[in-house]
């Protein structure tokens, strides 16, 4: 393995614009490195010339980073297709539909506008294999050697990208159903779904009110969208809507709001999709969640005899476990939901349509469909420790965890995990009584702190 993962995290490269690695120089070099790796045949079909699709969200820095990527790719001899502002899952779809070598998304997802990032999709619309990311990392260490003029990559803009994606999203909703008679409020977070989401639901028959659809480069995710659903709650009530649907800045995350203003998170929406498919005989295997999936959702699935597995936090790991078990649906409580029989990656619009499919086909409200899920309170305590402290090898900590699990007697959950970015152990306790689990979480956090102090 190379000196890898200097730049790549679990979901591409991300950071503050103007600071390493999100600078024009590094991003141009990244485009060149990715282009050379792709042109060498990594991920290419036989006889295929390397060509890459670039899409972005609505951050003002997207203009700069798009130009830098384009310059690097062209210097490497790779052709470029420019989609403009498009949701992340749209780039995955278009890369596959246009038979391109790879797709690149310029986005920092739900982060504020000051941040940005770069993530890649393979020709099949999946995240790039680790081996290809490692090869790109290694190539970044080498200088740019521009191809001869006759071999430079060409660029063209895809004028019908939005229309293609709208039709794709509509195709994931059953042809025999429509959304007539439903009034929806759609919150696009001033992000990449601003010009496509409303059209999808409108063309399926819904009465649509769209908010968060006036991006100015600086207002993405600001007080709106899936991360800040209060604006959606207010708009649903003000417009007398049946439901609200909120996306994040790059459109791969969704939350929903009922007519009464109640918020439904990713765990509840995933349950609704799974329960409907189970009842209709359409569920293949079980459901994948993460370590942070609410215990109440797991219990509700167990009542239906639906198998459930937990992956590490991150949609990449959810996808890996789905593929490993040949299952189709999984997701996170943040609203990243993957339906592999509909798309290769998490897609907020497609996920919302799967929920609406269940609502329409069952002729029941979202509130009724989600009712079996009683979300347990989760208490999270961060304990600062010295770097390198391994809580799993400390007898006092492991013993305390076992005692706490016995105390909960299967009616709750304990989770300890080390932060990947700072010297912190995250202590999470989940159970039906918030006051009780808060006391238990504080007690366990105290044990971890004492153990860490002795080990220092």
Q: Are 423 and 385 in contact (CB under 8 A)?
A: yes
Residue 302: exposure state from Cβ atoms within 10 A (0-12, 13-18, ≥19):
exposed
Three-state secondary structure along 108-172? CCCCCCCEEEEEEEECCCCECCHHHHHHHHHHHCCCCCCCCHHHCCCEEECCCHHHHHHHHHHHC
Gap between the Cα atoms of 111 and 222, Å rounded: 9
Angle between helices 348-362 and 88-97 (to 10 degrees): 90
Which of 235, 230, 245 lies closest to 359 in space, CA to CA?
Answer: 245
Catalytic residue among 109, 122, 334, 351: 109
Tokens 């090898």, located at residue: 393
Gap between the Cα atoms of 158 and 102, Å rounded: 15
Alpha carbon 237 to chain centroid distance?
28
Gap between the Cα atoms of 89 and 95, Å rounded: 10
Q: Are 173 and 356 in contact (CB under 8 A)?
A: yes
Looking from the CA of 450 toward its CB, the CA atoms found within 13 Å total: 10
Alpha carbon 422 to chain centroid distance?
22
- CA dist 31 to 38, 67, 104, 124, Å? 10, 10, 9, 20
Could you confirm whether 109 is annotated as catalytic?
Answer: yes
Active site residues: 109
């Amino acid at each position: 393995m190379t000196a890898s993962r200097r730049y790549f995290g679990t979901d591409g490269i991300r950071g503050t614009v103007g600071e390493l690695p999100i600078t024009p120089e590094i991003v141009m070099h990244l485009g060149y490195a990715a282009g050379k790796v792709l042109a060498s045949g990594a991920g290419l079909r036989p006889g295929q010339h390397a060509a890459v699709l670039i899409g972005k969200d609505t951050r003002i820095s997207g203009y700069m980073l798009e130009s830098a990527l384009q310059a690097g790719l062209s210097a490497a001899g790779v052709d470029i297709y420019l989609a403009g502002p498009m949701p992340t899952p749209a780039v995955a779809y278009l890369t596959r539909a246009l038979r391109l070598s790879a797709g690149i998304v310029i986005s920092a997802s739900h982060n504020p506008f000051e941040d940005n990032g770069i993530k890649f999709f393979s020709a099949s619309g999946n995240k790039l294999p680790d081996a290809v990311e490692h090869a790109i990392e290694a190539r970044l260490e080498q200088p740019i050697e521009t191809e001869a003029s006759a071999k430079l990559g060409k660029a063209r803009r895809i004028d019908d990208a939005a229309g293609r994606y709208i039709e794709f999203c509509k195709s994931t909703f059953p042809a025999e159903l429509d959304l007539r008679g439903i009034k929806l409020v759609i919150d696009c977070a001033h992000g990449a779904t601003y010009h496509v989401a409303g059209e999808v639901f409108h063309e399926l028959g819904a009465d649509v009110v769209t908010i968060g659809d006036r991006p100015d480069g600086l207002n993405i995710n600001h007080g709106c969208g899936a991360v800040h659903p209060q604006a959606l709650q207010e708009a649903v009530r003000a417009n007398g809507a049946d439901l609200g649907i909120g996306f994040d800045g790059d459109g791969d995350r969704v939350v929903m709001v009922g007519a009464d203003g109640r918020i439904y998170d990713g765990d509840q929406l995933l349950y609704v999709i799974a329960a409907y498919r189970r009842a209709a005989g359409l569920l293949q295997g079980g459901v994948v969640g993460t370590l942070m999936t609410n215990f109440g959702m797991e219990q509700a699935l167990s009542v239906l005899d639906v198998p459930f597995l937990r992956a590490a936090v991150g949609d990449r790991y959810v996808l890996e476990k789905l593929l490993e078990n040949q299952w189709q649906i999984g997701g996170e409580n943040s609203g990243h939901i993957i339906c592999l029989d509909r798309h290769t990656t998490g897609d907020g619009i497609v996920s919302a349509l799967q929920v609406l499919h269940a609502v329409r086909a069952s002729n029941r409200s979202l509130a009724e469909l989600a009712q079996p899920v009683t979300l347990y309170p989760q208490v999270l305590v961060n304990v600062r420790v010295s770097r390198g402290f391994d809580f799993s090898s400390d007898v006092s900590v492991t013993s305390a965890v076992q005692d706490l699990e016995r105390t909960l007697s299967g009616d709750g959950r304990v989770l300890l995990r080390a932060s990947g970015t700072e010297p912190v152990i995250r202590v999470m306790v989940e159970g039906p009584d918030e006051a009780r689990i808060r006391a238990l979480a504080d007690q366990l956090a105290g044990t971890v702190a004492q153990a860490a102090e002795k080990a220092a």
